[in-house]
Amino acid sequence: MKDQASGSGMGFFRTAAWVGAVWLAAGTLLAAQDLESAAIVHPSAESWPNYHGDYSGQRHSHLTQITAQNVNELSLAWVFQTDQRAAIKSSPLLVDGVLYFTVPDNVWAVDARSGHMIWHYNRPSTGEHIGHRGVAMYKGWLYFTTPDAHLISLDAKDGKVRWERTIADANKGYWTTMAPLVVGNHVIVGVSGDFDNLPGYLRSFEPQSGEVQWQWNATPPTGTPNMTTGGMTWMTGTYDPELNLVYWGVGNPGPDWNGDARPGDNLYTCSLVALDGDTGKLKWHFQFTPHDDHDWDATEIPVLLTAHVRGRDRKVVAMANRNAFYYLLDRETGEFLHASPYAKQTWAKGIDDHGRPQTLPNTSPSPEGTLVYPSLQGATNWFSPSYSPAARLFYVAVREMGACFYKTEAEYKPGNWFGGGGERPLSGDAAYGAIRALDVNTGAQKWEFRLKSPPWAGVLSTAGGLVFGGSNEGNFYALDGNTGKPLWDFQTGGGIVANPVSFLIDGKQHVAIAAGQVVFVFGL
């Protein structure tokens, strides 16, 4: 369903003349909505055409107008109320002056100049409504996943449905929350569903017809001896156009905390995989946490960059993993190059020369509970890191938090929780959060900005020398990218569980963040 009569921008009066003016402006904006492949591969600095901004996952804006010298002059341009219960987790897209953002079951197109709604799409569904990360765009079409595991294509001009396809069977316990990744003529989506005994996979759809092109399975088929389930693919990957490789993080095995029935490494769970962008064929994999029994998904964002490691410059994939280690891998071969801890961890002595963790004894879940850092939520999680090519720093939002992991029986009964345990909060746990800047080559910490509580918001770096981030307490802030010094702060009034973005409107740089149920856009 499409609703063009609800939503608000700054609470303006809705007179007949005003509505006519808005639709005239919308028509002018939307006539240009046509995102060709070249604009995705090489996006202009003024746009934000996919989840990460570009294929690299660096979440770095090359705009320079907002700087450390003038960021204190940043002020509110407009706000948009969604009138929904769900908090906004999505990263907006910005294409030709229009912002597109989501919560479960909903997509909005909003004029980025004024904050006025152009259209609103709503499709009530069943499934897990735990959040939604955004849409993808190709040509004049948008792609949106639903809580009941469907992929819907909308016309970007008016929000009308073009087609709808099934990603997975929601009746079995699958759901979807991710923003798809468009690679050439492929719309690639993953699945969620680790509350149940389900295998994970990636699936590619043809953008015009919606027909399935290929599927890559993260876990073995049902009936495989000592098989594991899990391996969910619930966050958006990255892509190297030169190598035609798609990089995707894979979630934990199941049952989550009782690994007795799944001996071995449990491939390809807790791994980064590199797939051929046209066929989905596996080119290489690297497993961060073999036989994971702490629910440490490897669904964090794989960031593509160049690092000086082992004596020379290498094209690498960098990841701040949920297990508290920062990794560098060769982008073409998957060769392990480096790992170092970036947060408190008590489960591994270190990482050996082949990239395998040297696990400490007595760190697995136990019936009485085993204290381990980090918690099951990880040293970081789904929210995005950022990388500044100028500063050569990798910025990550860190969760400093431990937990007592416990183990129970894990007998599968359809429709029931299949975790085999869980975690207990620590009594008097001094949990906190931080933004940490890591030397991209070594992972050494260069600076830290402390946060009151472990964050659920990502970061954005800019060519103006800034890092933007958000807190659970509702603070949207800017830091000096070289030193971590706080330079600017705005209290939004809502918890921030999203990633910032930046774009150009009428030649002026803006920064946007969602807080609670509201989108805020700032400019000089």
Q: Which residues are tagged catalytic?
A: 295
Report in angstroms the alpha-carbon separations of 51 from 6, 121, 268, 502, 523: 25, 19, 24, 12, 21
Three-state SS for 18? Answer: helix
Strands of the sheet containing 181-183, edge to edge, are 181-183, 186-190, 201-205, 212-217
Give burial (CB, 10 Å; 0-12/13-18/19+) of 354.
exposed
Alpha carbon 239 to chain centroid distance? 14
State which amino acid sits at residue 265: D
Task: Please state, in angstroms and rounded to a whole number, the distance separating the CA atoms of residues 112 and 95.
Answer: 9
Count other Cβ atoms within 10 Å, centred on residue 56: 18
Collapsed DSSP state (helix, strand, coil) of residue 303: strand
- Looking up tokens 């697995």 gives 364
Which DSSP string corresponds to 239-286?
EETTTTEEEEE---EESSS--TTS-S--TTTTEEEEEETTT--EEEEE
Report residue 199 as tokens: 């295998």
- One DSSP character per residue, 65-116 reads SS-TTTGGG-EEEEEEE---SSPP-PPPEEETTEEEEEETTEEEEEETTT--
Q: What is the pairing mode between strands 460-462 and 60-61? A: parallel
Strands 253-254 and 325-330: unpaired
Q: How many CB atoms lie within 10 A of CB 164?
A: 14
Token pair in block for residue 1 = 């369903």
Contacts of 500 (CB under 8 A, 6+ apart): 457, 458, 459, 460, 468, 469, 470, 476, 511, 512, 513
Give, in order, the Cα–Cα distances in Å from 411 to each of 258, 259, 369, 398, 417: 10, 12, 20, 34, 10
- CA distances to 89, 166, 173 from 170, in Å: 22, 9, 5
